[in-house]
Amino acid sequence: MSAKLLFVSKGEDASSTRYRALQFFPLWRAAGFEPAHVTASGGIKASVDMLRQAARADVVIVLRKTFPAVLLWLLRRAARRLVFDFDDAIFCNTDGTPSRTRMARFAAMARACDHVFAGNAFLAGQAAAFNPAVTRVPTCVDAARYRIDADKPADTLDLVWIGSHSTRKYLAEAMPWLKAAAEKIPNLRLKIVADFDLPGCGAATLPIAWRAESEARELAASHIGIAPMRDDDWSRGKCALKVLQYMAAGLPVVSSKAGANAEVIVDGESGFLVSTPEAWAACIARLANDAGLRRRMGEAGRRLVETDYSIDAVFGRLRPVVASLR
């Protein structure tokens, strides 16, 4: 009989659900498992439905959510085996400052589980303080979906940033070096694949509404991927998803030297890691003036993603751990 896996999250549209659960469902089925998903947001009715389905599953994997004490206690009693999977620093505030409430709920969740999957080394270290059974499982992408032969504009040099309004602050903080880069590169343009524009950033902008079916093509049709970040605990909890998307699309990457981005990018080989506005502008100018360097870095990044951060590679880490919990 196939083992039943139940993934619990705040909803199917959440990026953690799509990238850390749903995209693996075909592989789970091929490996003899029966994966299912339930949304745990929506009040008492949703909670009761989650508990009912948890009682019928062999392994319950909670994605990123923590629960009030009573609901966690009920879930622990209902689940034969319980796993916590998280890819953000949910134990602190979104500005990186400590939160006693968030940390307490995170600690309770980690302690209650049979195993913890953490998205990067920083998160794994935090979880290990409360549960010794921790496996680092990086966020990954379907590399084949990003291997697209898209025409790039010839009259502009397009930087691309993909994200959402919730992470707009990181891009807004990049305005000084964007302006400096635009002064060096007259045809520089910033393509924003998100749900907002950033007028007045110092460079021409091209806002593109994010859509799952078109995001890969929009990236492939750009020249350079950028990933500005803060160096705080919230940012250290990020799992380099946009960097992996850029690299899978064959783009060179310029990123802040922080968090998991610094774990993924090989500085000088698949992109540049920078710490100052001057370095940002200089590295972008260097890539803008050297199409061969852009190509070589893009190819190196794509190879790295296909080897270490593809669905198949990461599933190879997930499957034996889950199988051992049955």
CATH number of 3-140+311-325: 3.40.50.2000
Give the homologous superfamily in CATH for domain 143-308: Glycogen Phosphorylase B; (3.40.50.2000)
Task: Report the residue count for the chain.
Answer: 326
Provide the strand spans (E) within the chain: 3-9, 33-39, 59-63, 82-86, 115-118, 134-136, 157-162, 188-194, 204-209, 224-227, 253-256, 271-274
Q: What is the pLDDT at residue 166?
A: 86
| d(C-alpha 281, C-alpha 293), whole Å | 16
**Structure tokens, 236:** 């250290």
| d(C-alpha 209, C-alpha 45), whole Å | 34
* Packing angle, helices 100-112 and 69-78, rounded to 10: 10
Q: What is the pTM of this model?
A: 0.91
Query: Any idea where the domains of the chain sit in the sequence?
Result: 3-140+311-325, 143-308
Q: What is the DSSP string of 10-79?
A: S-TTSHHHHHHTGGGHHHHHHTTEEEEEEE--SSHHHHHHHHHHHHH-SEEEEES----HHHHHHHHHH-
pLDDT along the chain (326 residues), means of 10: 92 92 97 96 92 98 97 98 97 95 98 97 97 96 93 96 91 92 94 94 94 95 96 92 97 95 95 95 96 98 96 95 93
Task: Judge contact between 298 and 251, C-beta under 8 A.
Answer: yes
**Number of neighbouring beta carbons within 10 Å of residue 316:** 11
